Amino acid sequence: MGRNRKIVSILLAPILSLGLVACGGQTTSNSGGSTGATGATDVQPMTIKISHVVAENTPKHKGALAMKSTIEKESGGKIKVQVYPNSQLFGDKDEYQNLVANNVQFIIPDMAKLVGVDPAFNIESMPFLFNNDAASEAFWDGPKGQEIFKRLEKNGVIGLAMWPNGPKQITNNVRPIKTPEDMKGLKFRTQGGQLLEKVYSGLGASSVSIPYNELYLALQQGTVDGEENTLSNIESMKFDEVQRYLTMVGHTRVDYVLMTNTKFWNSLNDTTKKIVMDGVKAGTEVARKEADTLNTTAFDKIKQRGHTQIYQLSADERQKFQQALKPVFDEYTKIIGEDVIKDALSRNQ
């Protein structure tokens, strides 16, 4: 926890400093207003909406609740934060556009959903790139990751922090997956994007993008044979109820970026912005702490429920998947940038 707090503080300090300089002339005073936990009286009263597409028992939702708690407490109740899980407000297809329009102030999309905005967000879909959560966190906290986040600003969006979910595992309803050959002819739901399409075609399978909130029904009805996801997502959405087989592969990851929009961000005075950034820091710490814990707990729950057969790849079997996907890895190293991939690989300590 102490390590995460240090990393998050280092990450957010320059963002906060930049934001305060940029908005230094926009401070407003609410005379006669109540003093919040910060001791300031110029907190801007407002309602902030945070929208995401996953269930409540996930690192993302717990991080969003930590943001809510911190912002409301430090603002002395002047700022209200509404959290909408499970695509209650916006779904995969329209949350980014509504963020740009400031219809919502924060979203936390899967990075795979942003590959159309910038191909560098394919990082988490690169097969067998990161060994663990810590490696992915270190990359996004570092200069290359921050550079990628900064590219979003031309679209009116600000990337604030990476929130992990974890490595993805494969489920399906046809047969146990133990070798790359077992993937042939199967149809999987993925988050979308050309890289994930090539990952599955490279294994002899096909893929299709289906909105997350429609996936359970698609699996139940056999629209697709299987899907890839983190253990916490599989368990919280009860995908194991409609999938016979689960293979622990860890070939790609689900990681999120906490995003806001420039219209909202630039409207905040210094005091309000500091409170919001304190919320971002608190949410990031909780999301990172909870990711590994919830995946471990989810794995235990899936085993206890007993709906699906679980297979753990051996080191040799995992190596066969890695070799089968090497052409895809090499192709996208050139697209994303060899310097970026080199930096990412260096985080695997």
Residue 58 pLDDT: 86
Query: Hunting for tokens 């995992």 — which residue is that?
Result: 318
Query: Is a pLDDT exceeding 50 seen at residue 36?
Result: no
Q: Which domains does the chain have, with CATH numbers?
A: 2-164+256-291 (3.40.190.170), 169-252+296-346 (3.40.190.170)
Query: Is a pLDDT exceeding 80 seen at residue 9?
Result: no
Coil, helix or strand at residue 30: coil
107 pLDDT tier (thresholds 50, 70, 90): very high
In terms of C-beta density within 10 A (0-12 exposed, 13-18 middle, 19 or more buried), how is residue 182 classed? buried
pTM of the model: 0.82
Residues 6+ apart with CB under 8 A from 78: 33, 34, 36, 43, 44, 45, 46
The sign of the torsion formed by the CA atoms of 191, 197, 203, 206 equals positive
The strand pairing partners of 227, in sequence order, are 171, 189
Coil, helix or strand at residue 171: strand
The strand pairing partners of 159, in sequence order, are 259
Residue 57 pLDDT: 83
Question: For 153, how many CA atoms within 13 A lie in the half-sphere containing its CB?
Answer: 11
Name residue 324's amino acid: A
320 pLDDT tier (thresholds 50, 70, 90): very high
Name residue 253's amino acid: R
- Tell me how far apart the alpha carbons of residues 264 and 106 are, in angstroms, rounded to a whole number: 10
The vertex-183 CA angle with 191 and 229, nearest 5°, equals: 30
40 pLDDT tier (thresholds 50, 70, 90): low
The strand pairing partners of 246, in sequence order, are 171, 310
The strand pairing partners of 189, in sequence order, are 208, 227
Residues 161-219: tens digit of each pLDDT: 999 999 999 999 999 999 999 999 999 999 888 999 999 999 999 999 998 889 999 99
Residue 122 pLDDT: 95
The DSSP bridge pattern shows strands 157-167 and 253-261 to be antiparallel
- Tell me how far apart the alpha carbons of residues 17 and 252 are, in angstroms, rounded to a whole number: 34
Residue 191 pLDDT: 84
